[in-house]
């Protein structure tokens, strides 16, 4: 081949091809940090619960006749203070029994403060402005981990008139005490001394678990193993504690994988489909059937001097109308979610009709995905 031909013909063509290939962007994959898709063993909250008494209410507390636990709690509390009211008649409405809940953050130190939630247990009308007396908060093991006390803030507004009408915005029988709890006991979990740490995937998947293990082993060889779709076990390399090891691997990026799924909320008419959802070749026809019933009462007037009575005679008109022009539309065989959505939109139906279509396509075996109805 002459060199002149290469210079004048092939070189410009090759240059154009290289330039065109440079303009085609490589497929972009959404990667996530390991810390965003897994939960580390032991790094979790613990639920606390306790039973307490709120005092200082402005007549909006429990009625002692309908809430015997409030009366018993009030008597026991006063006895601990040296006041005996066992044989007395109590008729106060300024007290309410409540359940107190809180979440103990991971690795919380004794003396730290936390927020608590207070909820009425009896027939109290409002907890606004009340004061929660010292209440111990226990964990699932029955041990006391925190103590709560403070003024309850409900964030609700109530107003009433002399006629008995009232307006309430918010929930006055539940409130919070900001920094109202003090941690008295630590969980005792020591992560730094662990030999093996398990990471739990928030969305279990075999491929994602394997990719996490490969990403960790690429930086720290032979330190990670995918045990199942949910758990990836890691071991700190020699000379490194577990805290330092987790700090080095939690920011590693991994491309998560997930199965093809269609999530349907029939109440709100919402459809969410993943990128891997595919539909095999299928033909769909959809039409609307409208039935209309019209009532037009007519007045029947008797003839003069016939001694008859005027009567109303019901007259009904029933019509059935079926939408025309809907033909079979071929759908499926699409290599991308964009093509699938475009095909569904070509049907020109509402989201609620599309829900029925997707369920029918799934029943026909043409939808290559799981359907989850919320």
- Computed on alpha carbons and rounded to an integer, the radius of gyration of the chain in Å comes to 35
The token pair at 294 is 């019209």
Strand partners, 293: 318
To which residue do tokens 């909320």 refer? 265
**The pLDDT of residue 36:** 93
The pLDDT value given to residue 165: 65
Tens digit of each residue's pLDDT (9 = 90 or more) over 6-56: 455 444 444 443 343 343 343 445 789 999 999 998 888 999 999 999 999
Biggest CA pair distance of the chain = 121
Q: What is the pLDDT of residues 340-373, one digit of tens each?
A: 677 667 767 777 777 887 888 888 887 888 888 8
User: Which pLDDT value is given to residue 322?
Assistant: 56
Average of per-residue pLDDT across 320-348: 62
pLDDT of residue 164: 62
Say how far apart CA 222 and CA 306 lie, in whole Å. 108
Segment 83-127, tens digit of pLDDT: 888 777 778 889 999 999 999 998 889 999 999 999 999 899 999
Alpha-carbon distance of 355 to 373, in angstroms, equals: 10
**Contact residues for 136 (Cβ-Cβ < 8 A; gap 6+):** 50, 144, 146, 147
Q: Say how far apart CA 172 and CA 155 lie, in whole Å.
A: 7
* Greater model confidence, 95 or 301: 95
Domain boundaries, the chain: 46-154+171-183, 191-254, 261-295+317-373
What's the pLDDT at 336? 60
Question: Taking Cα atoms as reference points, which of 57, 47, 173 lies closest to residue 103?
Answer: 47
Kindly report the CA angle at 71 between 55 and 95, in degrees rounded to 5? 15
Angstrom distance (rounded) from CA 116 to CA 137: 10
Q: Is the pLDDT of residue 169 over 50?
A: yes
């Amino acid at each position: 081949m002459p060199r002149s031909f290469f210079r004048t013909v092939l070189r410009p063509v090759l240059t154009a091809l290289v330039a065109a290939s440079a303009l085609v962007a490589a497929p972009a994959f959404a990667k996530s940090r390991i810390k965003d898709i897994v939960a580390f063993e032991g790094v979790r909250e613990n639920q606390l619960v306790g039973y307490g008494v709120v005092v200082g209410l402005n007549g909006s507390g429990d009625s002692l006749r309908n809430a015997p636990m409030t009366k018993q709690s009030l008597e026991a509390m006063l006895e601990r203070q040296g006041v005996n009211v066992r044989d007395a008649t109590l008729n106060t409405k300024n007290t309410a029994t409540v359940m107190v809940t809180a979440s103990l953050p991971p690795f919380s130190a004794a003396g730290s403060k936390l927020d608590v939630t207070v909820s009425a247990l009896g027939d109290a009308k409002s907890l606004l402005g009340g004061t929660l007396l010292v209440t111990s908060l226990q964990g699932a093991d029955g041990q006391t981990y925190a103590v709560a006390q403070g003024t309850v803030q409900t964030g609700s507004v109530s107003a009433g008139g002399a006629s008995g009408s009232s307006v309430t915005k918010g929930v006055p029988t539940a409130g919070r005490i900001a920094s109202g709890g003090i941690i008295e006991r630590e969980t005792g979990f020591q992560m730094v001394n662990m030999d093996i740490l398990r990471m739990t995937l928030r969305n279990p998947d075999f491929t994602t678990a394997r990719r996490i293990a490969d990403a960790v082993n690429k930086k720290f060889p032979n330190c990670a193993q995918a045990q199942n779709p949910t758990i990836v076990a890691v071991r700190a390399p020699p000379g490194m504690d577990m805290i330092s090891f987790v700090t080095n691997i939690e920011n590693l990026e991994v491309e998560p994988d997930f199965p093809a799924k269609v999530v349907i909320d029939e109440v709100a008419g919402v459809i969410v489909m993943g990128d891997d959802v595919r539909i095999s070749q299928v033909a769909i026809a959809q039409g609307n059937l409208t039935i209309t019933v019209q009532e037009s009462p007519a007045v029947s007037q008797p003839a003069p001097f016939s001694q008859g009575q005027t009567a109303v005679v019901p007259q009904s008109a029933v019509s059935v109308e079926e939408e025309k022009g809907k033909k079979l539309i071929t759908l499926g065989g699409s290599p991308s979610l964009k093509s699938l959505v475009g095909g569904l939109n070509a049907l020109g139906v509402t989201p609620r009709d599309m829900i029925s279509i997707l369920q029918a396509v799934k029943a026909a075996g043409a939808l290559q995905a799981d359907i989850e109805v919320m």
